[in-house]
Structure 1
Amino acid sequence: MTIPADVTAGVAVFDRLTGRFTESREPDRAFRSASVVKLLLALDFLWNRGPAYDPPQADRDRLAAMLSSSDDAAASHYWSTGGGSAVIARMVPRLALTGTLPPPAAYPGYWGYTATTAADTVRVYRYLLDTAPLPVREIVLGALHRSTRCATDGFDQNFGLPSAFEAPGAVKQGWSGFTSGGCTPAPAGRYGPSSGAAAGAHEPTDTATGSGEPVAPTEVAERSAPSSAPAAAPSLDLTSEALHTTGTVGPDDRTVVAVLTLHPDGTPYGTAYSKVTTLTGSLDVPGAVRPSGTRFTTWGSGVRVRSAPTTASAALTTLPAGVDVLVGCQQQGGLVSVPPYTNDWWAYLPQYGGWITNIYVNSPGNTLPGVGRCP
């Protein structure tokens, strides 16, 4: 396990085939959950609905958006209608969680300030995989298996598990304290339907900011938690930037992975994104397949990934500023000029299914060392 400098991490990796943990680093350390708490919001809503329960279409859509695309409005809805911290009070004994606590008293409406641990996150996934009623498993894990690359608030969810391993299974990410570089949906496929984003003439685009996570509920006032609600975590770090990657890897969701991290206040999203991916890729994860290619760091804000190696092609999405990318190969294409740089070489990013100009890849020359030509 390699934990990058300045990163505080809680890690738990559980192999369901052998029934043992292959990695464990401060698994009981409390972190603010950010969007990882959405797993509990979904399970609380579906609890005790009966084996034949079929949610109304509105709830199916809301749950799918909350779990696949980390939709904050959906989370606020279930937090509010579920009684706020009462959701946590119910789910802790149901799942035998040992380190999950409601938000601090000063932040009663901030569902993302719920405290959780890597060990508890593994317990949640094990319940989903091994114990949950089939309809619940299909709804929740089905949505997590369709995780989109771009969240509804414009954050790129491709860090950690989706970048470190080929075809991860279920994925639920979480972040708090960052601003976004502006992520737009990729073409139809694992990462969802295309948004039809138009191609632009220049690289990079202007940086957009996202609302970040967590947010306070906006639909219904939070209900008071029952007197049996557990006390909030006394020393939860609400200042450092939080970035978490959780989910499953391997055939039949063999291995459950929970990586919860904190980064110094002010850390750029792309920097944290890359460090979490590096940490995740260093773990012993049975059943995992690591992608081939060479990682490079990019520069620039809002760098477009295009469908072909030319600025005349469609823009598929944008990259977080300064993020590491996996380059599969390179070839010459349309000439790009960003004074004082001019370059006609382009890098193919297999995990994005598109191209970026080599100008925005940190490398001393026009071509990238150690990277072959595309066939």
Structure 2
Amino acid sequence: MRHFSSIRGPRTAAGRALLPVAALLLCLTTAATSTAAPAPPAGARAGSDGSVSTAAAQAQVPTGVTAGVAVYDRQTGTFTEQVNASTQFRSASVVKLLLTLDFLWDRGPNYTIPATDRTLLEPMLRSSDDDAANHYWSAGGGSAIIDRMVTKIGLSDTAGPPAGMEGYWGYTAISARDTVKIYRYILEQAPAPVREFIMTNLRQSTRCASDAFDQHFGIAAAFDRPWAVKQGWSGEYEDGACGPSATVTSKDASESSATLTPPASRAAAQVDLSRPALHTTGTVGAGDRSIVAVLTLHPVGTSYGKAYTDLGRLTRSLDVPGATRPTGKWYGTWGSQVHVREAATTASGSRTRLPAGVEVLISCQKQGETVSVPPYTNDWWAYLPQYGGYMSNIYVTSPDNRLPDVPLCTTA
């Protein structure tokens, strides 16, 4: 898969558009009992949905980025961050949470997910597999899935794709506050088997998505485990090359910017379908204490690494109760698809390749093989703990070969 599938939907109307199908007639009822939210502390401000906010947002939104942010502390029953929380964004793969809930709804406490469905649902949740989403979107009746979930969960800003684009499940509209509601339903109201299945898979989110994009951004990079994430990306990004054997391929003509530009028939749509989107959602901390939803749009032409970095900086700026932040220093990088190696030598195996220009966390550095990229030469290597490997300091954005504020690695 490539990035345009991550919108998420077909690449072209002829190639991957999903024809509307009749909705499955499921006798769905809310079988779970609700867990009462804690009483708000004195001085808290109540929201229209019964939630409260206790502090002004400290979110630092990078220049040029449009963001919708909501951070909800389940321990206190309060929002610690809200920025454009009701603004609608195209969901990209975040909608896969709703596809899963719709499929599992009212299956009964002793329902066992068939093996054939596990082989679709698990990679859809862990690795954002698009083929699985196409299957459930079609089988569930397309936009009828969204209509059911809006009613059953009580969503305020969520709606199906615009008229004429019903096959594009990633064009479903969603907001940060509705994303919080979805996670709250999963954690506080869904039957235990549903909750455990979804959250177990989100905790096992893979670094490399099914379409070879590195999805270890946002929550997954900003905070140490425990966390559980469902990420989303959509737009005219360069092709992914995550993993030791992934290859970079040229774009298909069908993935041109012209394809991504909404036609006149969609001009009245509420959701921006043209700017590249990158979203990080999930839970952070022991007991899934905080629910975090950060939905972003970036200027047309933004690279994946730039969007990845800007989303990371925004996520790291948030007040997230219960979060533990990783140790190290964040540095920018340059170069295209730079390898992260098992050791400080180009002969060692590659763990993955970095999105071009992405910001990385460096915990220590050591001397190793001398690398030359004229006019630069450098024998220092940086250890990237979140990748479990080394990259040559020659690709780190720093005036010195040896990084001035990074300690020496004390192990081989």
User: Scaled by the length of structure 1, what TM-score is found?
Assistant: 0.87
Instruction: Give the match for residue 46 of structure 2.
Output: none
Output the CA distance in 1 between the equivalents of 2:268 and 2:80: 28
Instruction: Give the match for residue 5 of structure 1.
Output: 63
Which of 354, 359, 366 pairs up with 1:319?
Answer: 354
Secondary structure in structure 1 of the residue aligned to 2:180: helix
Which of 259, 263, 272 pairs up with 1:237?
Answer: 272
Q: Does 1:273 align with 2:312?
A: no
Instruction: Give the match for residue 28 of structure 1.
Output: 86
Instruction: Give the match for residue 150 of structure 2.
Output: 92
Secondary structure in structure 2 of the residue aligned to 1:256: strand
Percent identity between the two aligned chains: 60
Deviation at 1:324, TM superposition (A): 0.1
Q: Does 1:171 align with 2:229?
A: yes
Secondary structure in structure 1 of the residue aligned to 2:197: helix
Deviation at 1:233, TM superposition (A): 8.3
- Contact 2:281/2:294 (<8 A) preserved: yes
Deviation at 1:266, TM superposition (A): 0.9
Alpha-carbon spacing, 1:115–1:210, altered in 2? closer, same or farther (3 Å): farther
Q: Does 1:345 align with 2:403?
A: no
Instruction: Give the match for residue 76 of structure 1.
Output: 134
> When the two structures are aligned, how many residues end up with a matched partner?
339
Q: Deviations over 1:123-151 (max 9, x none)?
A: 00001111101111111111101000110
Give structure 1 regions of 4+ aligned residues with deviation exceeding 4 angstroms.
Answer: none
Instruction: Give the match for residue 12 of structure 2.
Output: none
Q: Deviations over 1:193-213 (max 9, x none)?
A: xxxx46xxxxxx9744689xx
Secondary structure in structure 1 of the residue aligned to 2:361: strand
Instruction: Give the match for residue 19 of structure 1.
Output: 77
Instruction: Give the match for residue 284 of structure 2.
Output: 249
Q: Does 1:107 align with 2:142?
A: no
Deviation at 1:339, TM superposition (A): 2.0
Alpha-carbon spacing, 1:373–1:63, altered in 2? closer, same or farther (3 Å): same
Instruction: Give the match for residue 202 of structure 2.
Output: 144
Output the CA distance in 2 between the equivalents of 1:145 and 1:206: 27
Secondary structure in structure 2 of the residue aligned to 1:127: helix
Alpha-carbon spacing, 1:374–1:209, altered in 2? closer, same or farther (3 Å): farther
Output the CA distance in 2 between the equivalents of 1:168 and 1:134: 19
Alpha-carbon spacing, 1:252–1:150, altered in 2? closer, same or farther (3 Å): same
Output the CA distance in 1 between the equivalents of 2:286 and 2:96: 24
Which of 326, 340, 344 pairs up with 1:305?
Answer: 340
Secondary structure in structure 2 of the residue aligned to 1:170: strand
Output the CA distance in 1 between the equivalents of 2:309 and 2:251: 19
- Contact 2:241/2:247 (<8 A) preserved: no
Deviation at 1:359, TM superposition (A): 1.0
- Contact 1:207/1:301 (<8 A) preserved: no
Output the CA distance in 2 between the equivalents of 1:183 and 1:48: 39
Deviation at 1:94, TM superposition (A): 0.6
User: Scaled by the length of structure 2, what TM-score is found?
Assistant: 0.80
Output the CA distance in 1 between the equivalents of 2:242 and 2:302: 22
- Contact 1:155/1:180 (<8 A) preserved: no
Secondary structure in structure 1 of the residue aligned to 2:227: coil
Instruction: Give the match for residue 37 of structure 2.
Output: none
Alpha-carbon spacing, 1:209–1:324, altered in 2? closer, same or farther (3 Å): farther
Instruction: Give the match for residue 100 of structure 2.
Output: 42
Which of 398, 401, 408 pairs up with 1:363?
Answer: 398
Q: Does 1:287 align with 2:317?
A: no
Which of 100, 116, 120 pairs up with 1:62?
Answer: 120
Partner letter of residue 379 of structure 2? Answer: D
Instruction: Give the match for residue 202 of structure 1.
Output: none
- Contact 2:242/2:354 (<8 A) preserved: no
Alpha-carbon spacing, 1:210–1:84, altered in 2? closer, same or farther (3 Å): farther
Secondary structure in structure 2 of the residue aligned to 1:54: coil
Output the CA distance in 2 between the equivalents of 1:88 and 1:209: 34
- Contact 1:14/1:23 (<8 A) preserved: yes
Partner letter of residue 111 of structure 1? Answer: W
- Contact 2:339/2:352 (<8 A) preserved: yes
Alpha-carbon spacing, 1:76–1:206, altered in 2? closer, same or farther (3 Å): closer
- Contact 2:367/2:380 (<8 A) preserved: yes
Larger Rg belongs to: 2
CA RMSD of aligned residues (A): 1.7
Secondary structure in structure 1 of the residue aligned to 2:112: coil
**Higher relative CO (CA 8 A, sep ≥ 6), structure 1 or 2?**
1
Output the CA distance in 1 between the equivalents of 2:371 and 2:161: 49
Partner letter of residue 307 of structure 2? Answer: A
Output the CA distance in 2 between the equivalents of 1:210 and 1:17: 46
Instruction: Give the match for residue 190 of structure 2.
Output: 132
Deviation at 1:181, TM superposition (A): 5.2
- Contact 1:182/1:318 (<8 A) preserved: no
